[in-house]
Amino acid sequence: MVFRSLRRPLLAWLTALALLLFTPAPAWADFVLPPLPYALDALEPAIDATTMTIHHDRHHGAYVANLNSLIEANPTLAKLSLETLQGQISSFPVAVRNNAGGHWNHSQFWAVMAPAGEGGEPSADLLAAINGAFGSMETLHSQFNQAATGRFGSGWAWLIRKSDGNLAITSTANQDNPLMDLPGIEPGTPLLGLDVWEHAYYLQYQNRRPDYIKAWWSLVNWSEVNRRYAALS
Ligand SMILES: [Fe+2]
């Protein structure tokens, strides 16, 4: 009698457990916030730990969460890699463009920085390409700084490799990037991308964007830039 009265709730409990264990993870969990490749305070004094915490955990985290929330209404997203998605972004709503761009841009941004003194130097191949395109590393710096300071409002400055193999400097607004198939964007593969949104520097530098850019050069992870360039050659 006791067993009979317990049988129904037991079966319901076992069914719930089976559903929990064997239901595949939902598609909206596809995009993941990558961990930082260094400690939150590793980029100090150029970028302080509080800025890094808010920037990575909250801003980048929000782009990832928002993008995942858009999968249900845009199921194609679940079948595309983040990088492939950039090249097809024109066929998606603007919310996908903003959040997928935010996710890709920040993912590359963390990787292209390293604690000061640990980023290495440009490889001989990359240096030859830089000298060929800009004449010198100093001119690259100056043109890149101009693109970064001149970007009105929020956006990014980029060193890209174009499809003809030449290097170029460009900038994009908001969370756009040179991989996107959109009018007004100079296409290319980013080798180095700098975030010039105020959330990237305002706590520490307030309105002094040029000071942030100057300090940021000490963090460039040339080993990663070399790797990206070599992968395209
Ligand atoms: Fe950012």
d(CA 116, CA 16): 52
CA of 71 to the centre of ligand 1 (A): 22
d(CA 132, CA 219): 24
Which residues fall within 8 angstroms of residue 15, CB to CB, at 6 or more apart? none
CA of 196 to the centre of ligand 1 (A): 7
Residue pointed to by tokens 């307030």: 206
Tokens of 208: 């002094």
Q: For position 6, what pLDDT does the model report?
A: 55
Q: How many CB atoms within 10 Å of residue 59?
A: 15
Q: For position 24, what pLDDT does the model report?
A: 47
Neighbours of ion ligand 1 (CB under 5 A): 195, 197, 200
d(CA 79, CA 233): 28
Q: For position 149, what pLDDT does the model report?
A: 98
Helical axes 209-216 vs 137-150, angle rounded to 10°: 150
Residues of the chain with pLDDT under 70: 1-29
Q: For position 233, what pLDDT does the model report?
A: 80
CA of 56 to the centre of ligand 1 (A): 8
Do 114 and 217 touch, CB atoms closer than 8 A?
Answer: no
CA of 195 to the centre of ligand 1 (A): 6
CA of 24 to the centre of ligand 1 (A): 32
What the chain holds in terms of domains, given with CATH numbers, is: 46-233 (3.55.40.20)
CA of 122 to the centre of ligand 1 (A): 25
